[in-house]
Amino acid sequence: MELKTKEEVCRELGISARGLEKMVSEGRFPVAVRIGKRAVWSSLAVERWLVEAFAAQERWGRRM
């Protein structure tokens, strides 16, 4: 399992650390797991969040 730091998650999503913290506090992004002093996310959790976030966009136009 690959782990991502706050900096890596922010870079991947194109948001600031403060933006990520706000999303977590509002329940719009998974909570980090603390390992020592580091806060980390599994790459799978980030990927699943992205899939869910874009689900409506990807379904658009498929209505028949």
- Please tell me the pTM assigned to this model: 0.85
Instruction: Retrieve residue 34's tokens.
Output: 């603390």
pLDDT digits (tens, 9 = 90+) for 31-47: 999 999 999 999 999 99
Instruction: Retrieve residue 35's tokens.
Output: 């390992």
pLDDT digits (tens, 9 = 90+) for 8-36: 999 999 999 999 999 999 999 999 999 99
Answer yes or no: are the C-beta atoms of 4 and 41 closer than 8 Å: yes
In three-state secondary structure terms, 15 is coil
38 beta partners: 35
Torsion angle of alpha carbons 36, 42, 46, 51, nearest 10°? Answer: -160
In three-state secondary structure terms, 18 is helix
